[in-house]
Structure 1
Amino acid sequence: MAFFWLCVVLVSLVASVAVNADMKLDCRADYVTVVWTESRSQANTSLFRLGSCFPTSSTAKEAVFSVYFNDCNFRSLVTGDHMIYTNDLTFISSPGSLILPFSHPVVCAYERSKDWYPMIYKPVFDTYGVEDLVFHIGLMNADFSGPAEFTTFPLGSVIPIMASVEQHSHQPLLLFLEECVAATTPALEPESHLYPLITNKGCLVDSKVSRSKFEQREKSSELRLSLQAFKFALGEELFIHCTLVAWEPNSFDHTKKACHYGKDHGWELLDNPAYSSSCDCCESICKSRKTRSLSGMHGVRQQSVLGPLTITDQNS
């Protein structure tokens, strides 16, 4: 951060739900490490969330988060001589689990530097909005750590794609790829040749005939796709047209999902395989249940075009 911390005060609040668990906080200058140790075998540690963030790592007994205060939708409060950062560690219960969903506070308090002054105005309440959401989609390198260095892919190789939405002051958002098609034109036209990739409100239909799949999320506001280079318009310039949509977290249903197909287990929901029944409609038509979300939010959509890129057949 832009100022020096004078001291660090660790604040740990113990909730009644944690009688069979232990939470450790390590509050540093601009980031925090949270380690939740769970003794109950029914608790799936991958279902823990810190604000909008997924675990940095997890084992059968532990969920670990090592994140910056600028991420995960931490809330900041200046009171007297202290700067306080707060968030909630939540558990999403799966169907049939004996452990109910719960929330646990995460608080880090610091002594405020004497040369720190607040902004003239900072909103206290986060609200959804359309005008200041920024969507991105791009080709990435093999480990998704940066942009791709090339745009030509041999047939059968992996095309790494990452989509994201910048949330700014918004409440946590969950990003999906609702529809994606490959085309030989930068704008979709009646005469455009198309190859469907994602259809039916988030069904990765290409995964039924390839090794394409959604990768595990690191942030709810990002979605990573490993797309196997397909046999369509080989040697020509291709453009991938996608509809990106941002929703409130944990609002999965038939129209808000990311589903891919595996030969061993069929259709699977990326964010919580226990709810993979939401993917059953991928073989037919996915219709909304016409229920409003708790916040009343409707999905914020953005049409995006990725490309040009080229798929080559090295055997031809």
Structure 2
Amino acid sequence: MASSLHCVVLFWLVAFGLTAADTKLDCGPDYMTLVWTDSRSQADPSLFRLGSCLPTSFTPREVVFSVDLSDCNFRRLVSGNELNYTNDLFYTSSPDSYVLPFSLPVVCSYQRPKDWSPRVYDPVFSTYGVEDLVFHIDLMNADFSGPAESPVFPLGSMIPIMARVEQVTHQPLVVLLEECVAATTPDLQLAVDVYTIITNKGCLVDSKTSRSRFEQRLETSVIQLLLQAFKFGGAQEVYIHCTMVAWDPNGLDETKKACHYVKDHGWVLLDNPMYSSLCDCCDSTCRSRKARSPGAGNGLVQKAVIGPLTITDLA
């Protein structure tokens, strides 16, 4: 339990003209209280979210979150001698607002307990109902609010792809895209040539040479990918083959992650940019930890195909 540990608070708020906001964070043994105050009342307080949680209370000038660290999709990460509970403060904005949407990290950091060790899944996965997980991956419209109306995309445009896992009766899981490639056939084994999009256990390598990127999560069970449409030889039809993984959100490491490349910043970890060092292996080899890596037969891994897509010339 964190109650016996020394607490360190880390929170920063510098974006989109909100530097005048006063923010107070209190990290308790197993809870946290965040108070966001802006005397200039630039933002609509009802539009704030802490992870998956709505404000506990708010006034025109103040937003309060008083939540347990077991709620709101807090992520637990261990780095060295620190045990960190991390989340994101979201502001979703509104169409007529001049305050832009933003996302900022919230971190409560404790001394790592001497007897702490990573959680390992019980090999009897049916105990947790994991065998019944249902994965989905779909082409979406531009704002991810519904399915795409057409599988035809102009060269250079953005292709919205959303993967999710249904987990109504399961422990909270984070969905990741471990591998994605493009091919000209629905059967990858028959493909003569493939184009790598995501590889190395979650590295969006296409983002190094394009505008492709992961979108900020609103739920751990959903991941949104914006893929820049590319020309794949002279083929009229393209299929996207992906491997999806459902994993413990507290167990992210070099083999279970979502990383994309940001110009002038390098590799960035989607779920917590403060731990982007997990992405350092994206330019080399991200090694598996066999003792903790699940196999394809236990329901945590699912392969899927999207397509056919048609990429058209702009002219």
TM bin (shorter chain): 0.5 to 0.7
> 2:71 is matched with which residue: 79, 88, 97?
88
Equivalent in the alignment of 1:228: 228
Q: CA deviation at 1:204?
A: 0.3
Figure out how many residues of one structure are paired with residues of the other and give that number: 228
What TM-score, normalized by structure 2, do the two folds share?
0.63
Per-residue CA deviations over 1:152-208 (Å, capped at 9, x if unaligned) read 000100000000010120000110000000110010125432111000110001000
Instruction: Output the CA distance in 2 between the equivalents of 1:199 and 1:306.
Output: 17
Contact in 1 for aligned 2:52/2:218 (Cα 8 Å): no
Bigger fraction of residues in helix: 2
Q: What is the identity, as a one-letter code, of the residue corresponding to 1:65? A: C
1:173-188 to structure 2, matched below 5 A, reads 173-188=173-188
Contact preservation (8 Å) 1:159, 1:227? yes
Q: Does 1:40 align with 2:15?
A: no
Contact 2:183-2:191 within 8 A present in 1 as well: no
**Structure 1 position 281, deviation (Å):** 0.7
Residues 164, 175 of structure 1: 8 Å contact kept: yes
Give runs of aligned pairs for residues 275-294 of structure 1, distance below 5 A. 275-290=275-290, 292=292
Task: Give the whole-Å Cα distance in 1 for the aligned partners of 2:311 and 2:253.
Answer: 34
Residues 230 and 311, structure 2, Cα contact 8 Å, conserved in 1: yes
User: 2:198 and 2:283 mapped to 1: Cα distance?
Assistant: 13
Q: Flag structure 1 segments of 5+ consecutive residues without an equivalent.
A: 1-14, 22-36, 49-55, 68-86, 103-125
| Residues in 1 aligned to 2:47 and 2:167: alpha-carbon distance in whole angstroms | 23
Matching residue's letter, 1:279: C
1:100 to 91, 109, 122: 109
- Residue 227 of structure 1 and its aligned partner are, at CA, apart by 0.5
Q: Is the 8 A contact 2:162 2:225 kept in 1?
A: yes
1:177 is paired with a residue of what secondary structure? strand
Instruction: Give the deviation of 1:272 after TM superposition.
Output: 0.5
Q: Distance in 2 between matches of 1:203 and 1:64?
A: 25
Matched, 1:65 2:53: yes
Question: TM-score w.r.t. structure 1 length?
Answer: 0.62
What pairs up with 1:106-185 in 2 under 5 angstroms?
127-185=127-185
Aligned to 1:246: 246
Measure, in 1, the Cα distance between the counterparts of 2:186 and 2:278.
32
Identity percentage of aligned residues: 58
* Partners of 1:191 and 1:88 in 2: CA distance: 44
- Secondary structure of 2:250's counterpart equals coil
Q: Which amino acid aligns with 1:252?
A: L
**For the Cα contact (< 8 Å) 2:238–2:309, is it kept in 1?**
yes
Task: Please tell me the root mean square deviation across aligned C-alpha atoms, in Å.
Answer: 3.7
Tell me which structure has the larger Cα radius of gyration: 1
Post-superposition offset of 1:289: 4.0
Q: Tell me the secondary structure at the aligned position of residue 188 of structure 2.
A: coil
Cα drift, residue 251 of structure 1:
1.1
Structure 1 16/145 Cα, relative in aligned 2: closer, same or farther at 3 Å? farther
Q: Distance in 2 between matches of 1:169 and 1:284?
A: 38
